[in-house]
Structure 1
Amino acid sequence: MLGAAALPLAAPALAQEGFPARPLRLIVGFTPGGATDISARAIAPKMGEVLGQPVLVENRPGAGSNIATEVVARSPADGHTLLLATLGALVVSPMVIRLPIDPVRDLVPVSVAVDLFNILVMPPDRPWRSVADLVAAARAAPGSLSYGTSGIAGGPHLAGLLFDRTAGTQTTAVHYRGGGLVVTDLLAGRVDFSFATAASVLTQIREGKLRALAIPHLERSRLMPDVPTMAESGLPGFDVPSWYAVMAPRGTPDAAIARLNAAMRVALNDPEATTVLNRNGLEPRWSTPDQLTEAIMAERTKWLPIIRESNIRIE
């Protein structure tokens, strides 16, 4: 009888020894071509090598990545379906949108994946040559200037909110389903500016198709050392950190999380993956699950008052 009673307890452990048992899905909440998509496709091959099963990148764009978040949260908690989540999806979306799921309640952390920097860019036909010029134009015509974002509550949107708050301006956010679409309309002159991800705009900046004004972080980027920070440009303390992280459905066994975390550590140290990421303005960064939890909580504390002041609510 004692032996029979022990069998149900042993089965899950044995099952985890065979993890993963099939190809994994890494869900991206934006269209191909943007920073999230580039990040996922850079690390997925090496993760697959380490895990012994392919890691397939799947794009599920829409609703600022909330569709993808829900897909993963409702997937079986066996470690085979993962989300490459943005800071916005994990931190801000629950504050502004009535969601059927809560990312903190319904997902568990695996690891931070990459740090990225955004760049304040605009079409070259716009007359503004500095942040001060842009601020003056925005103050002169409240509500008339528009900025593109890769989705509600994402890094570019947060940067736009902070810009209005610190500069005393009123600009209009135009939301797209991915960074690639933002760039398309920037190049066409349909929006005035964007705090776009470097992965989306570095090539266009280098080719003179977009103008870079500033970096919305406390320090200059080593990839664009000649571009000043927003703080250097007259907005002290302006900082919008941005990172992506891998999450799994709540209830995923600890053993699977540990194996995924270890695979990510190898992938994020892979020279080929690092080259791809750096070329697109992305820096690989591994973390423990606990460190990722702490980062999420810290950012929620930072952005809550700004979201409340902006009175953003999406029904």
Structure 2
Amino acid sequence: MKRLIAAFAALCLALPAGLAWTTRMAGAQEFPTRGITMIVVFAPGGATDVLARIVADHMSRTLHQRVVVENVTGAGGTIGGARGAQAAPDGYTLTVGSLGSHAAAPSIYRNIAYDPRELQPIGLIAGTPMFFVVRNGHPAQTMAEFLAMAREHPGRISNANAGIGSTNHLACALFSHLTGARMNDIPYRGEGPAMNDVVAQQVDSACLLAPAAVPQIAAGTLRALLVAATERNPNAAAIPSAPEAGVPDYIFQGWNAVFAPRGTPPEVVARLDAALRAALADPAIQRRIGELGSLPAQPAQQGPEALRGLLRTEVPRWATVIRAAGIEQQ
């Protein structure tokens, strides 16, 4: 009888732990049981938005729940970044950010409401080359002609960007720092609106990421003077590389990645990571991203730990660039 009582007592003590383990496993297997919101920190039509929608559609099929994109714009992507960071850490609110919003922002905004390095990374989507473009009808036909005009008339050439601290803003700040060109910078609430005004010939120039720039270049609605890379982009092969255009040090590649709030359970992170990896492994998705001039994240670049490592290098690197370029803190 004593042995029976002891065994029963041991069973009772073990039961809560067993129930907790069972509950955790059930939660991991069930997630997600409802739709997921994917916050995009810039307006529709820009690189961040386009890439987010491509992977969100595929992840919806893998997770068997809708992944709905919500554009939350402003302050160089930090308004959307803050909302995503402060969401419940349950996997139902994700954020797609960029180099600007999730690497450079801490060095630009005094009161940023999140530290990108403290978020839960899910994974990199793609690297995104940068193009320097001008409106149709702009008199400069080459980068040499553009620089001559910009230096002769400082501040006269209007230049659109996706907002203070955005990847586009950083790219053009670096361009000005390297070339001495001084332009009249005009911030927008995203790359899409900035691009639209260049296409509409309301603004002279812009630095545009490949998913925004390449379709417009192909359509002939704007002209690119260079791609900020050491080699030409295969999806815009007529555009000279930075060295060919006479600006050999202007090498710039943005990136876009998916984040969850800090404290998201590991089993939920694993489920989301697997869904994103499945999207990036799909040849159709790789082709779509490539057609936009971007570079899909390769297996070694994918996953939470790879993205965490990228942030460890990118945040301090851009702090140095921002100081050197003289970008004032907001």
Question: Any conservation in 2 of the 1:131–1:230 contact (CA below 8 Å)?
Answer: no
Match among 215, 219, 231 for residue 219 of structure 1? 231
Aligned partner of residue 235 in structure 2, secondary structure: coil
| Distance in 2 separating the partners of 1:174 and 1:12 | 50
CA distance 1:104–1:29, change in 2 (3 Å): closer
Counterpart of 1:116 in structure 2: which amino acid? Answer: T
| Distance in 2 separating the partners of 1:106 and 1:296 | 10
Deviation at 1:48? 1.6
Question: Any conservation in 1 of the 2:236–2:293 contact (CA below 8 Å)?
Answer: no
Q: Does structure 1 residue 129 correspond to structure 2 residue 176? A: no
Match among 283, 295, 299 for residue 310 of structure 2? 295
Aligned partner of residue 129 in structure 1, secondary structure: coil
Aligned twin of 2:189: 177
Q: Deviations over 1:104-126 (max 9, x none)?
A: 24411111012222211101211
Question: Any conservation in 2 of the 1:36–1:244 contact (CA below 8 Å)?
Answer: yes
Q: Deviations over 1:7-38 (max 9, x none)?
A: 67434443223211211111111222222221
Larger Rg, first or second structure (1 or 2):
2
Aligned twin of 1:70: 82
Aligned twin of 2:153: 141
Counterpart of 1:215 in structure 2: which amino acid? Answer: V
Which deviates more, 238-247 or 105-114?
105-114
| Distance in 1 separating the partners of 2:211 and 2:110 | 30
Q: Does structure 1 residue 3 correspond to structure 2 residue 14? A: yes
Aligned twin of 2:283: 271
The percentage of aligned residue pairs carrying the same residue is 34
Match among 89, 99, 104 for residue 116 of structure 2? 104
Aligned twin of 1:166: 178
Q: Normalization by structure 2: what TM-score?
A: 0.89
Match among 33, 38, 41 for residue 21 of structure 1? 33
Aligned twin of 1:234: 246
| Distance in 2 separating the partners of 1:209 and 1:45 | 28
Match among 261, 265, 275 for residue 273 of structure 2? 261
Q: Does structure 1 residue 203 correspond to structure 2 residue 218? A: no
Aligned twin of 2:322: 307
Q: Which runs of 5+ in 1 are unaligned?
A: none
Counterpart of 2:256 in structure 1: which amino acid? Answer: Y
| Distance in 2 separating the partners of 1:206 and 1:53 | 35
Q: Deviations over 1:178-205 (max 9, x none)?
A: 2221122112332221111222233332
Question: Any conservation in 1 of the 2:226–2:242 contact (CA below 8 Å)?
Answer: yes
Deviation at 1:221? 0.8
Q: Which runs of 5+ in 2 are unaligned?
A: 1-11
Question: Any conservation in 2 of the 1:43–1:264 contact (CA below 8 Å)?
Answer: yes
| Distance in 1 separating the partners of 2:168 and 2:45 | 16
Question: Any conservation in 2 of the 1:39–1:277 contact (CA below 8 Å)?
Answer: yes
Counterpart of 1:6 in structure 2: which amino acid? Answer: A
| Distance in 1 separating the partners of 2:317 and 2:248 | 16
Instruction: List aligned pairs for 1:36-47, cutoff 5 A.
Output: 36-47=48-59
How many positions carry a matched residue from both structures? 315
Aligned twin of 1:155: 167
CA distance 1:8–1:76, change in 2 (3 Å): farther
Aligned twin of 2:6: none
